[in-house]
Structure 1
């Protein structure tokens, strides 16, 4: 896989238009915590501008950035899978503008329009596969650097 899928551009125009009827424009100031790992995942965002860092709490005081997202990227996928809790935290790295989608409304739309549901699930799966591959690459890089130090 060579590039990340951008959710809205991956959808065919008719499905994208239907999904966008549920969009709400939101913004987050720099350093705003958007969600915390373990919280209820009942919405998702498509970033219009700015940058978001996904992080993981590794100790009571230390967080590690696991990914950085920008314009066009999907923020949040846990809404799609039980138990519908965030796996990571997210913080605005800079001022962020985004489209926000209510998960229940989107899932309802997918039930009404199975073609939209299939394209949406496939797009999210491609995004997840890409991010998993990137994370695997980062872990391998860190592992090889540690082995050289030891």
Structure 2
């Protein structure tokens, strides 16, 4: 959330609810309805994806200050990954419909939120690509310097 200008971060924080998750809690699964998102305060959350016939590979680990969930912002609001608390977690939770409503009511706020979430999305897609290449390409294909 630090990527948001202070004014917009403060607006968003007024909508936050503190939540806790015990270790092993699934926050969401790929394909489910994305109706909320979180910012981690303490603990660790891993993102994973379904791979038919295999255990879910961990794509990325998220810790303090990181956004968990971006699918809520983009129609049809369906999770593209899964998330699990791998340690006890404390987080700020946000209702997606409320935040989208605030984005509609204040276009500048909406613009800043879209830039924030979009930058997280770009990073997550690159992380997923690299992790999947490391797992499934011959000889660690994700570490190549080729563009």
- Which category describes the TM-score, using the shorter chain as reference length? 0.7 to 0.9
Aligned residue number for residue 120 of structure 1: 113
1:66 to 35, 59, 62: 59
Runs of 4+ in 1 over 3 A off after TM superposition: 139-142
TM-score by length of 1: 0.86
Q: Higher mean Cα deviation, 56-65 or 15-24?
A: 56-65
2:37 to 44, 47, 52: 44
CA contact (8 A) 2:59 2:127 kept: no
User: Considering only aligned residues, what root-mean-square deviation do their CA atoms show, in Å?
Assistant: 1.7
How far 1:92 moved relative to its partner?
0.2
Aligned residue number for residue 4 of structure 2: 11
1:89-141 CA distances to partner (integer Å, 9 max, x unpaired)?
A: 11101011100000010011111211111011011111111222223333444
Aligned residue number for residue 3 of structure 1: none
2:23 to 18, 21, 30: 30
| Distance in 2, Cα, partners of 1:137 & 1:86 | 20
CA contact (8 A) 2:59 2:131 kept: no
Aligned residue number for residue 100 of structure 2: 107
The aligned length equals 140
How far 1:144 moved relative to its partner?
4.6
Which stretches in structure 1 are left out of the alignment for 5+ residues?
Answer: 1-7
